[in-house]
């Protein structure tokens, strides 16, 4: 006894396959756009960097991140940032964390140790 799929079953399989294909293409394009935006923000920070110390206010266990507070030109800023596991284990609330910000837009923040791979060595 052989099962013979009907035309509606074949059509639903084809439509489902293409829906999954379109959804995966959408996810891939969103990740690509996010990576380009992160690279753009990093290049903005590195064009005019300013290194300061930020105070860790809170720790987020689920997303592996910190809420930091820092001052620049007399104004206080607060930001939530994601970090690596190594940094997550190293710092506790109340510690100072070295960060690099953009002079032109102090809301653009990167942890100084994470920017070392982008900096050019002095010759």
**pLDDT for 123:** 41
pLDDT tens-place string over residues 53-80: 999 998 887 778 888 999 999 899 999 8
pLDDT tens-place string over residues 86-120: 888 888 888 898 999 988 888 888 888 877 776 66
Domain boundaries defined on the chain: 1-123
Contact 59, 66 (CB under 8 A): yes
Arithmetic mean of pLDDT, 6-17: 93
Arithmetic mean of pLDDT, 36-47: 88
């Amino acid at each position: 006894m052989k099962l013979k799929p009907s035309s509606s079953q074949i059509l639903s399989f084809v439509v489902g396959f293409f829906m999954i294909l379109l959804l995966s293409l959408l996810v891939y394009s969103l990740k690509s756009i996010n990576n380009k935006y992160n690279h753009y923000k990093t290049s903005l920070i590195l064009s005019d960097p300013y290194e300061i110390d930020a105070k860790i206010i809170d720790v987020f266990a689920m997303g592996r991140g910190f809420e930091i507070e820092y001052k620049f030109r007399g104004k206080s800023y607060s930001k939530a940032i994601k970090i690596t596991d190594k940094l997550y284990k190293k710092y506790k609330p109340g510690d100072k964390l070295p960060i690099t910000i953009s002079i032109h837009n102090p809301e653009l923040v990167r942890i100084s140790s994470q920017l070392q791979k982008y900096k050019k060595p002095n010759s």
